[in-house]
Amino acid sequence: MPETNNKDWNKYEETIEQFIQVIAKNMSLYGVTPSIGRLYGVLYFSQEPMTLDDMREALEMSKTSMSTGVRALSDMKMVEPSFKKGVRKDLYKSEEDWYKSFTSLFGSRWRHHTETNIEEADEAIQELNDLRDATEDEELKSKITEDIHRLEYAQNYYRWLMKFIHVVESGEIFQYVPKIDQKSKK
Protein backbone atom coordinates (compact mmCIF):
# COMPACT_ATOMS: atom_id res chain seq x y z
CA MET A 1 0.00 0.00 0.00
CA PRO A 2 2.70 2.60 0.84
CA GLU A 3 4.41 1.82 -2.50
CA THR A 4 1.19 2.63 -4.39
CA ASN A 5 0.81 5.83 -2.38
CA ASN A 6 4.38 6.87 -3.26
CA LYS A 7 3.72 6.04 -6.92
CA ASP A 8 0.59 8.23 -6.82
CA TRP A 9 2.54 11.13 -5.29
CA ASN A 10 5.22 10.77 -7.97
CA LYS A 11 2.55 10.85 -10.69
CA TYR A 12 1.00 13.94 -9.06
CA GLU A 13 4.36 15.75 -8.92
CA GLU A 14 5.11 14.80 -12.53
CA THR A 15 1.73 16.14 -13.69
CA ILE A 16 2.19 19.44 -11.83
CA GLU A 17 5.75 19.78 -13.16
CA GLN A 18 4.48 19.27 -16.72
CA PHE A 19 1.91 22.03 -16.25
CA ILE A 20 4.53 24.35 -14.74
CA GLN A 21 6.50 23.81 -17.97
CA VAL A 22 3.38 24.83 -19.92
CA ILE A 23 3.09 28.01 -17.82
CA ALA A 24 6.75 28.82 -18.48
CA LYS A 25 6.35 28.22 -22.21
CA ASN A 26 3.22 30.40 -22.40
CA MET A 27 4.81 33.22 -20.45
CA SER A 28 7.70 33.26 -22.94
CA LEU A 29 5.14 34.55 -25.48
CA TYR A 30 5.11 37.76 -23.41
CA GLY A 31 8.87 38.08 -23.16
CA VAL A 32 9.21 36.35 -19.80
CA THR A 33 12.15 33.97 -19.50
CA PRO A 34 11.35 30.28 -18.95
CA SER A 35 13.06 30.34 -15.54
CA ILE A 36 10.82 33.17 -14.36
CA GLY A 37 7.81 31.35 -15.80
CA ARG A 38 8.81 28.23 -13.87
CA LEU A 39 9.21 30.32 -10.71
CA TYR A 40 5.69 31.65 -11.13
CA GLY A 41 4.40 28.10 -11.66
CA VAL A 42 6.10 26.85 -8.50
CA LEU A 43 4.66 29.74 -6.48
CA TYR A 44 1.23 29.21 -8.01
CA PHE A 45 1.08 25.57 -6.95
CA SER A 46 2.65 26.16 -3.55
CA GLN A 47 0.19 25.71 -0.69
CA GLU A 48 2.05 28.29 1.40
CA PRO A 49 3.96 31.48 0.64
CA MET A 50 7.62 30.75 -0.08
CA THR A 51 10.95 32.31 0.92
CA LEU A 52 13.76 32.81 -1.59
CA ASP A 53 15.45 29.78 -0.02
CA ASP A 54 12.32 27.67 -0.58
CA MET A 55 12.21 28.78 -4.21
CA ARG A 56 15.93 28.15 -4.69
CA GLU A 57 15.53 24.64 -3.34
CA ALA A 58 12.44 23.90 -5.43
CA LEU A 59 14.03 25.10 -8.67
CA GLU A 60 17.69 24.35 -7.93
CA MET A 61 18.71 27.85 -8.93
CA SER A 62 20.77 30.52 -7.20
CA LYS A 63 19.27 32.79 -4.60
CA THR A 64 20.26 35.75 -6.80
CA SER A 65 18.28 34.28 -9.69
CA MET A 66 15.30 33.79 -7.39
CA SER A 67 15.55 37.37 -6.17
CA THR A 68 15.73 38.69 -9.73
CA GLY A 69 12.81 36.48 -10.76
CA VAL A 70 10.65 37.55 -7.82
CA ARG A 71 11.40 41.20 -8.56
CA ALA A 72 10.41 40.73 -12.22
CA LEU A 73 7.20 38.89 -11.27
CA SER A 74 6.43 41.54 -8.68
CA ASP A 75 6.88 44.30 -11.28
CA MET A 76 4.39 42.42 -13.48
CA LYS A 77 2.00 42.16 -10.50
CA MET A 78 2.16 38.36 -10.65
CA VAL A 79 3.78 37.88 -7.23
CA GLU A 80 3.17 39.74 -4.02
CA PRO A 81 4.81 39.83 -0.61
CA SER A 82 3.14 37.81 2.10
CA PHE A 83 3.31 37.64 5.88
CA LYS A 84 3.27 34.72 8.26
CA LYS A 85 3.54 35.19 11.99
CA GLY A 86 6.89 34.04 13.34
CA VAL A 87 8.65 34.00 9.96
CA ARG A 88 11.37 36.62 9.69
CA LYS A 89 12.36 36.01 6.06
CA ASP A 90 10.53 37.64 3.17
CA LEU A 91 7.67 35.50 1.91
CA TYR A 92 6.05 35.63 -1.50
CA LYS A 93 2.93 34.20 -3.05
CA SER A 94 1.59 34.19 -6.56
CA GLU A 95 -1.24 36.36 -7.79
CA GLU A 96 -3.87 33.73 -8.38
CA ASP A 97 -6.13 35.86 -10.54
CA TRP A 98 -4.77 34.98 -13.97
CA TYR A 99 -7.06 37.52 -15.61
CA LYS A 100 -5.45 40.28 -13.56
CA SER A 101 -1.98 38.89 -14.28
CA PHE A 102 -2.66 38.71 -18.00
CA THR A 103 -4.00 42.25 -18.25
CA SER A 104 -1.02 43.57 -16.31
CA LEU A 105 1.57 41.56 -18.23
CA PHE A 106 -0.01 42.11 -21.64
CA GLY A 107 -0.57 45.79 -21.01
CA SER A 108 2.90 46.62 -19.75
CA ARG A 109 4.72 44.63 -22.43
CA TRP A 110 2.63 45.82 -25.34
CA ARG A 111 2.44 49.42 -24.12
CA HIS A 112 6.23 49.66 -23.97
CA HIS A 113 6.73 48.21 -27.46
CA THR A 114 3.89 50.19 -29.01
CA GLU A 115 5.10 53.48 -27.53
CA THR A 116 8.57 52.72 -28.88
CA ASN A 117 7.12 51.99 -32.33
CA ILE A 118 5.18 55.27 -32.30
CA GLU A 119 8.35 57.20 -31.43
CA GLU A 120 10.34 55.40 -34.15
CA ALA A 121 7.64 56.16 -36.75
CA ASP A 122 7.60 59.84 -35.68
CA GLU A 123 11.38 60.04 -36.07
CA ALA A 124 11.33 58.28 -39.45
CA ILE A 125 8.63 60.64 -40.76
CA GLN A 126 10.60 63.67 -39.56
CA GLU A 127 13.81 62.44 -41.19
CA LEU A 128 12.02 61.59 -44.44
CA ASN A 129 10.31 65.01 -44.50
CA ASP A 130 13.71 66.69 -44.01
CA LEU A 131 15.22 64.58 -46.79
CA ARG A 132 12.28 65.26 -49.13
CA ASP A 133 12.70 69.01 -48.53
CA ALA A 134 16.46 68.83 -49.16
CA THR A 135 16.60 66.62 -52.25
CA GLU A 136 16.33 67.71 -55.86
CA ASP A 137 15.57 64.14 -57.03
CA GLU A 138 11.88 64.03 -58.01
CA GLU A 139 11.76 60.23 -58.08
CA LEU A 140 13.14 60.12 -54.53
CA LYS A 141 10.63 62.78 -53.42
CA SER A 142 7.81 60.64 -54.79
CA LYS A 143 9.12 57.51 -53.06
CA ILE A 144 9.49 59.40 -49.77
CA THR A 145 5.90 60.67 -50.00
CA GLU A 146 4.64 57.10 -50.51
CA ASP A 147 6.67 55.84 -47.58
CA ILE A 148 5.47 58.65 -45.32
CA HIS A 149 1.91 57.54 -46.10
CA ARG A 150 2.88 53.99 -45.11
CA LEU A 151 4.37 55.25 -41.86
CA GLU A 152 1.25 57.33 -41.15
CA TYR A 153 -0.81 54.18 -41.65
CA ALA A 154 1.45 52.40 -39.17
CA GLN A 155 0.99 55.27 -36.70
CA ASN A 156 -2.78 54.97 -36.99
CA TYR A 157 -2.47 51.24 -36.26
CA TYR A 158 -0.29 51.94 -33.21
CA ARG A 159 -2.79 54.51 -31.95
CA TRP A 160 -5.56 51.92 -32.31
CA LEU A 161 -3.38 49.37 -30.52
CA MET A 162 -2.86 51.84 -27.64
CA LYS A 163 -6.66 52.08 -27.32
CA PHE A 164 -6.86 48.29 -27.26
CA ILE A 165 -4.13 48.12 -24.62
CA HIS A 166 -6.12 50.59 -22.52
CA VAL A 167 -9.23 48.41 -22.86
CA VAL A 168 -7.20 45.45 -21.60
CA GLU A 169 -5.40 47.30 -18.78
CA SER A 170 -8.57 48.98 -17.51
CA GLY A 171 -10.45 45.68 -17.34
CA GLU A 172 -12.98 46.99 -19.86
CA ILE A 173 -12.09 43.97 -22.01
CA PHE A 174 -14.16 41.81 -19.68
CA GLN A 175 -17.32 43.61 -20.83
CA TYR A 176 -16.68 42.18 -24.29
CA VAL A 177 -15.02 38.91 -23.37
CA PRO A 178 -16.30 37.96 -19.91
CA LYS A 179 -14.17 36.02 -17.46
CA ILE A 180 -15.13 32.40 -17.06
CA ASP A 181 -15.90 31.76 -13.44
CA GLN A 182 -15.03 28.52 -11.73
CA LYS A 183 -18.65 27.46 -11.33
CA SER A 184 -19.98 27.97 -14.86
CA LYS A 185 -16.82 27.14 -16.88
CA LYS A 186 -18.45 28.57 -20.01
Residue 184 forms part of a structural domain: no
Q: Tell whether 81 and 132 lie within a shared domain.
A: no
Q: In total, how many domains does the chain have?
A: 2
Q: Under a CB-based contact definition with an 8 Å cutoff, are residues 58 and 35 in contact? A: no
Asked which of 95, 130, 165 is the last residue of a domain, the reply is 95
Average pLDDT rounded to a whole number, residues 42-59: 93
Evaluate whether residue 181 is within a structural domain: no
Tell me if 133 is assigned to some domain.
yes
Question: How would residue 4 be classed by pLDDT, with cut points 50, 70 and 90?
Answer: low
Q: Per the domain annotation, does 72 fall within a domain?
A: yes
Q: Within this chain, do residues 170 and 108 fall inside the same structural domain, yes or no?
A: yes
Is residue 62 located within the same domain as residue 138?
Answer: no
Provide mean pLDDT across the span 129-154.
97
Same-domain check for residues 106 and 153 = yes
* CATH number of the CATH domain containing 11: 1.10.10.10
- The answer to the question of residue 145 being in a domain is yes
Count the neighbouring beta carbons within 10 Å of the beta carbon of residue 150. 11
Q: How far is CA 16 from CA 28, 62, 133, 134, in A?
A: 19, 22, 63, 64
Per the structure, the complete domain to which residue 160 belongs is given by 99-176
**Strand bridging mode 91-94 / 79-82:** antiparallel
Domain boundary among 46, 69, 95: 95
Cα angle value 23/19/12 (rounded, 5°): 155
Angle, helices 2-28/34-45, rounded to nearest 10 degrees: 140
The mean pLDDT value for 39-60 works out to: 93
**53-111 per-position pLDDT tens digit:** 999 999 998 888 889 999 999 988 899 999 888 888 899 999 888 888 888 888 888 89
Is the distance from CB of 83 to CB of 69 less than 8 angstroms? no
Query: What share of the chain has pLDDT > 70, as a percent?
Result: 95
Output the pLDDT for position 1.
Answer: 47
Based on the domain organization, do 169 and 90 belong to the same domain? no
The length of the chain is 186
